[in-house]
């Protein structure tokens, strides 16, 4: 079954606009690893709130969360 057609009762989250399953206990770090995203090359936000790299392993995701990865911009 494609991940964008999960039944509405399934625990889901969004990663960069794509719907994915959200198993209990899933951390932001584990999600990035599972999707093959290089955690050192992206910044992350959950529900619009920035999550520092050092806290990704502690940030447990919940059904309905919206996760966004983006290129960090340095400068001033």
In the chain, domain spans: 11-70
Question: Would you state the pLDDT for residue 73?
Answer: 74
What's the pLDDT score for residue 30?
97
Fold for the domain defined by 11-70:
Ubiquitin-like (UB roll) (3.10.20)
Residues of the chain with pLDDT under 70: 1-10, 75-76
Instruction: Give the pLDDT confidence of 9-23 residue by residue, as tens digits.
Output: 569 999 999 999 999
37 Cβ contact partners less than 8 Å away, ≥ 6 residues apart: 69
Q: What pLDDT, on the 0 to 100 scale, is given for residue 4?
A: 53
Q: How far apart are CA 32 and CA 8, in angstroms?
A: 23
Quote the tokens at residue 19. 């719907």
Q: Check residue 71 and give its pLDDT.
A: 87
């Amino acid at each position: 079954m494609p991940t964008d057609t999960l039944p509405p009762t399934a625990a889901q989250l969004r990663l960069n606009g794509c719907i994915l399953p959200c198993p209990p206990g899933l951390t932001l770090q584990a999600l990035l690893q599972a999707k093959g995203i290089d955690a050192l090359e992206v910044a992350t936000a959950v529900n619009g709130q920035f999550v520092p790299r050092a806290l990704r392993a502690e940030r447990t995701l919940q059904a309905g969360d919206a996760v966004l990865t983006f290129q960090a911009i340095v400068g001033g």
